[in-house]
Amino acid sequence: MHKIVKIILVVLGVIGAVLWFQLPSSDVPASEAVDSGAMNFMFIITYLLLAIAVLFSLVFSLVALFSNPQSLKRTLIVVVGFLVVVGIAYGISSGTDVNIDEMARRGVATTESTVKLIGMGLNVFFLLTIIAVGAMLWGGVRKMTK
């Protein structure tokens, strides 16, 4: 499997190098350069490599996660904790932070639920920041007291 992946990567690298030399020069207008077949194929290769990397990292992460029951338990605790933080953030966001009529007058179509979701996102960020700083402080204090 490892040799097959290396061969595929070498082939894609050679194709990428060939396409690099077929890219339009810098004096070609951008409107024409966008329609370059070499550029389109380079984007396709990039998306293909990104998809492969995401797929393999997801598969190996899930295999490692399910092979150890202790890590699965910890992961579930973290996911439930995150959902609790999201629930708290949604509960404390009001949705009336801005004047919706004023936003509509300025051309920004929005609803109270949209404002509430934006407030929830901000509250999640703030809560997670507080939790992260608290965890760093707690770890530092524990290390200093030992």
Cβ atoms 20, 36 nearer than 8 A:
no
Closest CA to 13 of 33, 55, 42: 42
pLDDT at 55: 92
Q: Using DSSP, state whether 94 is helix, strand or coil.
A: coil
pLDDT at 99: 78
pLDDT at 105: 84
pLDDT at 25: 79
60-109 pLDDT, tens digit per residue, is: 988 988 888 898 899 999 999 999 999 999 999 887 777 778 888 888 77
Cβ atoms 96, 123 nearer than 8 A:
no
**Which pTM does this prediction carry?**
0.59
Helices 69-92 and 37-67 pack at an angle, to 10 degrees, of 110
The Cα–Cα gap between 41 and 115 comes to 41
In whole numbers, what is the pLDDT of the chain averaged over residues?
88
Cβ atoms 119, 94 nearer than 8 A:
yes
Which spans in 1-146 are helix H?
2-21, 30-33, 37-67, 69-92, 100-105, 112-145
Question: How many CA atoms lie less than 13 Å away from 106 in the CB half-sphere?
Answer: 8
115-143 pLDDT, tens digit per residue, is: 889 889 999 999 999 999 999 999 999 99
Cβ atoms 93, 51 nearer than 8 A:
no
32-51 pLDDT, tens digit per residue, is: 777 778 888 888 888 988 99
